[in-house]
Amino acid sequence: MASKTDFRRVSFGTKLGYSFGNFGESVAYNLFYLFFMIFLTAVAGIDPAVAGTISLVAVLWDAVTDPLIGYWSDSKRGGKGRRRPFLIRFAIPLGAIVILMFTAFQNLSGVMQVLYFLVMNIAFWFFFTAVDIPYITLGGEIVDDPKDKTMIRGMATSWNFAGFAVVASAAFPIIVSLADKEAYPDDMAMLDPGAWSKAAILFGILTTVSFIVAWAATKGKEPIFHESEHTERTPFFKEYLGVIKIKAFRPLIGYNVFSQIGGYLLTALAVHFFIYSLGASEGQISIIFLVYGIMNIVMAPLMGLLANKFGKKKILIILNAINVVALAVFLLIGFNLTTIYFFDLIIAFYFGSFYVLAFASTYDVATLDRLQNKKKDSRQGIVFALFSFMMKVGVGLGMFISGLLLKISGFDESLMEQSAKALKGLHLGMTLIPGIFFLIGLLFLIKYPITKNRLAKIEDAVVALDEGKEYSTKEIEDIFK
């Protein structure tokens, strides 16, 4: 068994500084996931189905860029590292695009307006990927110990939900405070396009600064692979085909896609549901999101501790099963402004466990891949990029389905009181439909083969491989087949 002294470690301060990057990541994508649909439909006046299509096309484009960035960062060599240069190079453009994506120009309408938001959305996801894939991958490379990797994911996820809490609880109050009160009185303040653009400036700055902090905190901590150590790189498509062939990875990918469809169908409809079904005010919506964010901040480190004790797979299965059962209950009993906080807790079980444990599981898959192919440097970037690619396919489909559901159910963005059919569609979109996707994801997760005991054997074998010692894979050979 490898001893703790065999592992490369970093200080708590480095872990904290690195994980702060997840704050900016969260600010950027939660601004998109929570508010982009409501911004397009209620502020910019774009048809819900068209808005859903814009989101789908842009997110699927982002999914295409994930493998390219993953391969590019894996292939990079030199004294500045493979991952950190991406953070400093693309953090500022990402912050700028966050602002432009929530800016509605008055002289644009019709097709030109749709094209503008499509282009801004595509640009946003390109720059987001160019920062995010290397950033997440870096967390699995500054330390060796699987427990440290899970701890880093727990810390990063706490910052993630701190970013969520800031965006979700502060966006509406900031927008209302910045609104032109003459043109947009209090009950219409959230419809002021200028206020949205001004608020986006703040969130764009937060995004950029957090990634720069992560870049600075990890200086000198990233493993360096020089050109002299570089073996000939496998062609792009062959590399990804090799990762797709990792048998153990496929159930994790299946869980990823289907659970993300359910998760982001919920996310895209949440603001619509709170406003039109529950009659919640901007202040009440802010409190709902703030409580949800705090729940996740508290739970993320706890999930890491539970996973280190019982294994990532076991904790993921338990929490996702609770999520499926709870959605079935809420389908039958409905929601109000009190029970919505119990709903917050259940959804926090899913998203918290996903961003801590499913992300950390990609580090385990990359370690398994190293052992299987007997390589010194891992394909961590490619493994996570493929995971991210499939995640965004799920996200895009979830957001597309949300727009389609709004259209089919007769949602009218010009009305504050929706029809019974539209309200029924929102209820199903928050319970039954995502519950089905969560259940399918859970069935995939059950088949994921890397348990706690198997991971320990994989790590032992990798340590022996690195030290040039003999090792046996007899007890885990079924994972390779």
| Average pLDDT estimate for 259-278 | 90
Task: Indicate if the pLDDT at residue 305 is higher than 90.
Answer: no
Angle formed by the axes of helices 236-244 and 380-408, nearest 10°: 80
| Average pLDDT estimate for 276-303 | 86
pLDDT value at residue 1: 40
pLDDT value at residue 75: 72
pLDDT value at residue 316: 96
- 111: Cβ–Cβ under 8 A, 6 or more apart, which residues? none
* Per-residue confidence band for 2, with pLDDT thresholds at 50, 70 and 90: very low
433 vs 238, higher pLDDT:
433
pLDDT value at residue 55: 74
| Average pLDDT estimate for 402-413 | 87
| Average pLDDT estimate for 210-223 | 89
In three-state form (DSSP H/G/I as H, E/B as E, the rest C), the secondary structure along 386-448 is HHHHHHHHHHHHHHHHHHHHHHHCCCCCCCCCCCHHHHHHHHHHHCHHHHHHHHHHHHHHHCC
| Average pLDDT estimate for 254-279 | 91
Pairwise CA distance, residues 342 & 129, whole Å: 33
Q: Would you call 289 exposed, middle or buried from its count of C-beta atoms within 10 A (0-12, 13-18, 19+)? A: buried
Q: Is the dihedral of CA 193, 261, 304, 321 positive or negative?
A: positive
Long-range contacts of range 2-5, CB-CB < 8 Å, 24 or more positions apart?
Answer: 2/459, 2/460, 2/463, 4/145
Pairwise CA distance, residues 57 & 114, whole Å: 12
The fold of 10-218+236-480 is Growth Hormone; Chain: A; (1.20.1250)
Task: Indicate if the pLDDT at residue 208 is higher than 90.
Answer: yes
245 vs 443, higher pLDDT:
443
Q: Where are the domains of the chain?
A: 10-218+236-480
pLDDT value at residue 150: 82
With residues binned 3-state (H G I as helix, E B as strand, rest as coil), the percentages for the chain, rounded to 5, are: 80, 0, 20
Say which range, 21-25, 255-259, 292-296, has the weakest mean pLDDT.
Answer: 292-296
Task: Indicate if the pLDDT at residue 72 is higher than 50.
Answer: yes
Task: Indicate if the pLDDT at residue 428 is higher than 80.
Answer: yes
| Average pLDDT estimate for 196-211 | 95
For the chain, give the mean pLDDT: 86
Q: What would the pLDDT profile of 357-393 be if each residue is shown by its tens digit?
A: 998 899 899 889 888 887 766 787 788 888 988 888 8
Backbone angles phi, psi at 88, to 5 degrees: -75, -25
Task: Indicate if the pLDDT at residue 20 is higher than 60.
Answer: yes
Task: Indicate if the pLDDT at residue 422 is higher than 80.
Answer: yes
Q: Would you call 472 exposed, middle or buried from its count of C-beta atoms within 10 A (0-12, 13-18, 19+)? A: exposed
| Average pLDDT estimate for 166-174 | 87
Pairwise CA distance, residues 354 & 431, whole Å: 19
| Average pLDDT estimate for 446-471 | 88
Backbone angles phi, psi at 15, to 5 degrees: -60, -45
Task: Indicate if the pLDDT at residue 466 is higher than 50.
Answer: yes
Task: Indicate if the pLDDT at residue 42 is higher than 70.
Answer: yes
pLDDT value at residue 202: 95
Q: What would the pLDDT profile of 222-260 be if each residue is shown by its tens digit?
A: 776 655 445 556 677 787 788 888 899 999 999 999 999
* Per-residue confidence band for 200, with pLDDT thresholds at 50, 70 and 90: very high
For residue 286, CA distances in Å to 178, 274, 281, 289 come to 16, 10, 9, 5
